């Protein structure tokens, strides 16, 4: 229960921060849709997984060659 509440708080505060960012901009820009709970859970899962296998560059975490794919 506590773990789920943290995700809800992350989603809420991310959306609040983004709205504040848009309000501070001098010229209007296209507003993106709000972050949803599944988006946040996916992001955190990817960030945790990236911590298990340290690579030199960001694009090394998503290789296109089949033999380099990480099974986890």
Backbone angles phi, psi at 12, to 5 degrees: -60, -50
Containing H/E element for 30? none
Please indicate, yes or no, whether the overall pTM of this predicted structure exceeds 0.75: no
Backbone angles phi, psi at 5, to 5 degrees: -65, -35
- Of the candidates 14, 3, 2, the one whose C-alpha atom is nearest the C-alpha of residue 39 is 14
Angle at 14 between CA 13 and CA 17, to 5 degrees: 80
CA atoms of 64 and 25, how far apart (whole Å)? 37
Please give the residue that has the higher pLDDT: either 30 or 64: 30
Q: What is the pLDDT of residues 15-49, one digit of tens each?
A: 999 999 999 988 877 888 999 999 999 999 888 88
């Amino acid at each position: 229960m506590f773990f789920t509440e943290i995700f809800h708080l992350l989603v809420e505060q991310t959306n609040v921060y983004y709205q504040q960012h848009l309000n501070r901009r001098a010229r209007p820009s296209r507003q993106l849709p709000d972050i949803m709970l599944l988006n946040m859970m996916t992001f955190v899962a990817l960030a945790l997984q990236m911590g298990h296998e340290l690579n030199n560059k960001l694009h090394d975490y998503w290789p296109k060659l089949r033999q380099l794919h990480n099974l986890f």
